[in-house]
Each structure stands twice: as structure tokens, then as C-alpha cells.
Amino acid sequence: MPAPASSPMPAALGQLSPASAPAPLTDAVRLSGFLDFITDPRDVRGRRYRLPSLVAAAAASVLAGARPLTAITEWIMDAPAWACRAPGFPVDPLTGTVSVPHPHTVRRLLVQLDGDALDRAIGAFLTARSASAPAGLRAIAVGGKTLRGSRTATTTHVTLLAAMDHTGHVLAQRQVADKSNEIPALKPLLDTIDLTDTVVTADALHTQHAHGAYLRERGAHYIAQVKANHPGLFDRVRHLPWREITLDHHDRPRAHHRLKIRRLKTAAFACLDYPDTRQALQVVGWERTSPTRSSPSNAPT
């Protein structure tokens, strides 16, 4: 059954949304080289268009600014002949006419594709596409998000766990299993990324001993948030001699009629009951919305 015309684009293609470029076709052709190992879900009989060509054309439309499936298929239908040749659509040898797939063909394929395999392919493409990182450690942020428009009358929202570098490129993405949470999905997500000489940050939910040990085994450093959901570790970090430690950073940004105050202190220690930890950061912040009201927050990490 074909996907409704108003359906959102697949989550894997959403990784390309922040990567819009002035030459979408060039990038899409490069992406097709990463799609060879994705299994084609269509029946062998009647295949007229190659899977890499269809996905590359859809990717080109997303890189050009198209978002829902309707916009993706319209972009492909309206593209000039020279643009349709780039992804590898068949050309009539007698007339030179380029055959363009019907919108239902594109929609059906994108809905049926293995989402995890497409995530890995696009993540590998974006990693290769990004400029060489400067000398030093590379930062990777891990976080969950709810896919907008994925909730139906019979199903809950689809939750995705993604790893993104600080240039805005999604390096890997994985769907969180129903009736589960993000914790078991962290290792399978990061298994697809080279973590050597990286610094990985994540929500306090992922401050788990097993995750810390995993990251160190993979050659990564990490910044683990310690909050009250990890009471033993939080208590030990909270009782470090913070009053005796010199202030490292202090700022007072003002925006939207609010005054914010942030302070940062760093403490080094020989050992803490968490894998290879040698340093703790205390982040203290206040937000003042009126002369008589202020709301403090204290989140040691």
C-alpha cells in the first residue's frame, strides 16, 4: 500500500536536512556510492530503476530543501533532464529522453527500506563529506528525539537516538525499541562510529558505569552529567571541596529581560567510582527574571 502523500520523509533522510548545500546533485551522486550494501526490498521482477538512483534523487531533493514526501517526489518530477541523468535514471538511446519514476515508486521504496541500514549509509556519507577536523579531540553529542508526525491512533511516537558532531552532521541514528528507553540503544548506535580521539557527551540518563567503560574501551573520552538520578555518584561529587577551589569561569549574559549568572569550577582527583574519571566540573547557574526573584540551579558533572 503506498504511503499517503502527506507522510513525512524517512528519518534517515532527515539527517541530510541540516546539510543543505549549493550543489545537491553532486553530493547526492557521492551518496549513491554508500548505498550498494542496502538490500532492495522490491521484487526482482519489474525493477526499472536502481535503488541507488532512487535514493540519490530523494537525497538531492532533501539537500535542495524538500522535506515531506510530497515535496521530494515533486522535486524529482520537476527536475530538468540533465539533473535526472545525474542519479542514473535510464535514458532512451534513440530519443535521449530520461525516464523519471512515478511518485508512488519513490514513496513505496522509501517506506520499505531498512531504516537502520539507510541510517548507517547516510551517516558514513556525512562523515566522509565533512571537512577534516582540526588537530585535537573531536566532539560528538548523543541525544534522543521524537520524530514529529510519527504518532498515530494505534502507535506511540517513534523515538530516535542520534550521534551528531558539533558541525551539525548526524553521524549515526537508531530507532529506540518500543517499550524500552535510550540506554540499551547507546552501544549499538556508537558501534558504527570510529570513537578514537573523540569526546562524547550525552544526557544524564546515559551516565552508566557500563557506558563509561565502553567508551574508554573504544578510545573515547567523555563528559558524563551527574544528577540526582545517580544518587551515590552525585553525593560523592557534590561533597568534593568545592568551596576551596578557585573559580575557573564566570559570566553574566543578559537576554529577553533575564539576567543569567554561570560559574564553572574544576576539581582533579586520583580516583572516583566511575571508569577512568580524573576530573569533575561543577556548573552553577542562576536566572533572575525580576529584582526580587531568582532561581538557582546546581548541576555538577
| pLDDT tens, position by position, 207-221 | 999 999 999 999 999
pLDDT at residue 31 in the model: 87
pLDDT at residue 25 in the model: 77
Spatial separation of the C-alpha atoms in residues 105 and 2, rounded to whole Å: 8
pLDDT of 154 strictly over 70: yes
Give the Å distances, CA to CA, from 103 to 3, 83, 89, 269.
10, 17, 14, 61
73 CB contacts (<8 Å, ≥6 apart)?
Answer: 103, 106, 107
pLDDT of 121 strictly over 90: no
Q: Which amino acid does the sequence have at 56?
A: A
- Which residue blocks in the chain are alpha helix, DSSP H? 11-14, 24-32, 51-63, 69-78, 81-85, 103-112, 115-129, 186-190, 209-217, 231-238
- pLDDT tens track for 19-41: 555 567 778 888 888 888 888 89
First-to-last alpha carbon distance for the chain, in angstroms, is: 49
- pLDDT tens track for 68-97: 888 888 888 888 888 888 888 988 888 888
pLDDT of 262 strictly over 90: no
Mean pLDDT for the stretch of residues 162-172: 83
Q: Which amino acid does the sequence have at 215?
A: L
Torsion of CA 100, 73, 24, 16, to 10 degrees: -140
pLDDT of 228 strictly over 60: yes
Query: What value does the mean pLDDT of the chain take?
Result: 82
Position with higher pLDDT, 134 vs 200: 200
| pLDDT band per the 50, 70, 90 thresholds, residue 298 | low
Spatial separation of the C-alpha atoms in residues 15 and 160, rounded to whole Å: 12
Q: Is the full-model pTM beyond 0.75?
A: no
pLDDT at residue 260 in the model: 83
Spatial separation of the C-alpha atoms in residues 35 and 71, rounded to whole Å: 22
pLDDT at residue 5 in the model: 46
| pLDDT band per the 50, 70, 90 thresholds, residue 290 | low
